[in-house]
Structure 1
Amino acid sequence: MLKKFILSAALVLAAAFASNAQEKHRIYINDFNVAEGVSEADAANIRQAVIDAIHKSQKFELATSDMESALSQEINRRSSEAAMHDAATRNEILMAAGCQYVMSGDIIKCSLNKSTLDDGTVMYECVLSYSITVAEVATSTTVASQRFDSNNGLFSGSWNSSTSPETATANAIKHIEKDIEGFIIENFPTEGTIIPMDYEVKKDKMLSCYIDLGTSHGVKEGDLFSVLAAKVVIGQVTYSEIGKIKVEEVVSDNISRCKVTKGQKELFSAMESYMALDEASQSQQPIKIKAEAKTDVLGAMGKLGL
């Protein structure tokens, strides 16, 4: 038997679930340290690619010295160069500007390797290495840090190579978007809940459902989420993964339709248990979702050192 609840009702209730969506934190992107040998133009393009990727994720509200006028005025008032490179003074300024996080970066290498193929074709490969670190402004505690190397992996040299040196460099910088997407999902995963309406069930298996995340959260078709169900242990609510879902359609700012790719029976059972709860318990024990990084063959090979 196929059960399908009414979508319009889910749309009406979506606003209530949207209130559970994570508030965007403001992050300040500091100037990057640049190693000797990296051109000024390449350094600027690399930093801008990081900023663009963070903006595209819609995970943070961005604040940079060149785009945040109020912050720029305060920085200038305190002598920007000295102030923003002194941690204590910088954090005081950033807290006043409402920033919760600060990102710093190091551009370690951006150079070209030249080779000649058997047919005489000259090829250029861009070797790009950089690292980023995110710290809490209030405590100066590092919460995430990672180094990225374009030449790390079995297939390195393919996507960042070209017969043109400019194109080879551009290809390597273009890949930064994937780097940052994975970095954000791993360290600052978007979280939400399954909307307990309009889910599709067949033979006690949940086939599809709606979640309270959409375009305003940077959700895209193909995004993956793990599903976590609540369990009360000694009066405390704990969560464990019971399945996975994949976004098939982004419906609105705060609604997306998903296909259940793993744990169809478990999700159906969890929803049945949730619907049996009283209203107060439902608010304390929603079925949660947490963003997962998409499988990246190149990245996986790189992490294995292949």
Structure 2
Amino acid sequence: MLAMCMCAYLGLFAQEGSGKDVILVDYFTYTESIGDSYPTTLRHAVIGGLQATGRLVIIDADAESGLKLEKDRRNSEEAMGDATARRSEMKKLGANYMLKIHVTQMDASQEKKDDGSTWYSGLINFTLTLVNVEDGTVKVSKPFNYAGLNAKYGDTKEAAITATIDYVKISMKKFVNDNFDLKASIVAIENVDKKKGAVSLYIDCGESMGVKKGHTFIVRVEKQVAGKTLYTEIGRVKVDEVQGDDMSLCKVTKGGVEIQKADQDKKKMVVTYKPSVLDGVGSSIKEGLK
């Protein structure tokens, strides 16, 4: 019980401290003919790809006792039935989203070379569903298909499947870039002007997230209204110097007075990059994250 409480505390701390979304990777479901081995390897690749972006806090359901199910129930309707109770456990862990994957194929097609020898091409198909833990709504439902030019080859069926799984990590990076804003928190305000307010400040976002000098971010104040989280833009900052994996010095380009006041009032500020708002910045950041 103590361990469970500590995990919940750490999950909440990670979300509050970093401004990152917290994703709980739920158990994978799959057709019985696939077996357990390949989906386990696929799961490791998915988690590895998500973690590699540095953009999210990842919680593995398999490591949380409050979410564990007996092995023979993981693919049953009964195991999926108590969704509300399971989401409640996820909230305790600080999760914003639950990532579910159903695997329909992990196989390889046999091909023949001109000399009569055989080789195999990987075949992997699964559907990824991202669920909002707060209300159970689906944020994303996307099929992933790997075959032909989008797969890898091997001398054996096992080698082809394992090699094709490597592509999944790359897919997860793109998935994160497409569906999650780059978020950070203001660590400290460095300089203040009597008239302009905040002039420069530090954010906990740096090289590991692909941030470079010149990148511009929106500063928003977070508030709770009727149980909903709302954000109000109060300013913008531009990266002046990347000082490490998780630290950048920024110049305030808009809203210095508002940012200083929000800091003095102890309001929670979130620094966010949104490609749709800041045209021209998105491609450079995403290139840095590939």
Tell me, in whole angstroms, the C-alpha distance in 1 between the residues paired with 2:156 and 2:242.
Answer: 38
Is the Cα–Cα contact under 8 Å of residues 105 and 132 in structure 1 kept in the other structure? yes
Give the direction of change, closer, same or farther, for the CA distance of 1:224–1:179 in structure 2 (3 Å limit).
farther
Within-5 A mapping of 1:8-47: 21-25=18-22, 27=24, 29-47=25-43
Size of the alignment, in residue pairs?
Answer: 239
Deviation at 1:213, TM superposition (A): 0.4
Tell me which of 164, 176, 179 is aligned to 2:171: 179
Call closer, same or farther: CA 1:126–1:82 in 2, change over 3 Å.
Answer: closer
Distance in 2, matches of 1:98 and 1:196, equals: 27
Cα distance, 1:110–1:189 mapped onto 2, change above 3 Å? same
Gapped regions of structure 1 (runs ≥ 5): 1-18, 198-209, 231-235, 259-267, 296-306
CA deviation after TM superposition for structure 1 residue 173, in Å = 0.8
1:190 equivalent in structure 2: 182
1:228-276: CA deviations, max 9, x gaps?
Answer: 568xxxxx97699999x9xx97714x22589xxxxxxxxx9xx655679
Question: TM-score w.r.t. structure 1 length?
Answer: 0.58
Structure 2, unaligned runs of 5 or more: 1-15, 191-201, 220-230, 276-281
How far apart are the structure 2 equivalents of 1:272 and 1:223?
16
TM-superposed deviation, 1:177: 0.9
- Three-state SS of the structure 2 residue aligned to 1:172 is helix
Q: Alignment partner for residue 91 of structure 1, among 87, 92, 102?
A: 87
Residue 169 of structure 1 corresponds to which residue in structure 2?
161
Task: Give the 5 Å matches for 1:1-306.
Answer: 21-25=18-22, 27=24, 29-58=25-54, 59-64=56-61, 66-72=62-68, 84-86=79-81, 87-151=83-147, 155-157=149-151, 160-192=152-184, 212-214=204-206, 219-220=208-209, 227-228=216-217, 251-252=244-245, 254-256=246-248, 279-280=260-261, 289-290=273-274, 292=282, 294=286
Give the 3-state SS of the residue equivalent to 2:150 in structure 1: coil
TM-superposed deviation, 1:185: 1.9
Query: In the aligned structure 1, how far is the partner of 2:214 from the partner of 2:179?
Result: 14
3-state DSSP of counterpart to 1:140: coil
Q: Give the conservation status (yes or no) of the 8 Å contact 1:71–1:97.
A: no
Give 1:107 shift: 0.5
* Structure showing greater relative contact order (alpha-carbon pairs closer than 8 Å, 6 or more residues apart): 1
Aligned-partner residue type, residue 37 of structure 2: A
Q: Is the 8 A contact 1:193 1:212 kept in 2?
A: yes
**Is the Cα–Cα contact under 8 Å of residues 105 and 123 in structure 2 kept in the other structure?**
yes
Give, in whole Å, the separation in 1 of the partners of 2:263 and 2:89: 41
Contact 1:134–1:142 (CA<8 Å) still a contact in 2?
Answer: yes
Report Cα offsets for 1:178-205 as digits up to 9, x if no partner.
11111122112222489998xxxxxxxx
Which residue identity does 1:173 align to in structure 2?
Answer: I
